């Protein structure tokens, strides 16, 4: 059986998610409001799964045609 281990979410603040993605904090909040990424945390304390943010960037990256 090829079971992959479960990974815990790597939750980071809006500021760190924006820094990792190279976008503004407003963009992170906009992605969350458009359901592109999931917002975790309590009211007044948003957190985002860093892996999910990075996957979104990979999905939106333009592909080059050789």
pLDDT reading at 13 higher than 80: yes
pTM of the model: 0.77
Lowest mean pLDDT among 13-17, 31-35, 39-43, 59-63: 59-63
pLDDT reading at 39 higher than 80: yes
Percent of the chain whose pLDDT exceeds 70: 79
pLDDT reading at 47 higher than 50: yes
Residues 9-28: b if buried by 16+ CB within 10 A, e if exposed = eeebebebbbeebeeeeeeb
Cα first-last separation, the chain: 38
Q: What is the pLDDT of residue 64?
A: 55
């Amino acid at each position: 059986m090829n079971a992959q281990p479960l990974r815990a979410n790597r939750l980071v603040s809006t500021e760190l998610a924006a820094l990792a993605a190279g976008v503004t904090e407003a963009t992170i909040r906009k992605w969350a409001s458009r359901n592109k990424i999931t917002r975790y945390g309590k009211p007044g304390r948003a957190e985002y799964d860093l892996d999910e943010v990075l996957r979104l960037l990979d999905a939106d990256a333009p592909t080059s045609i050789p």
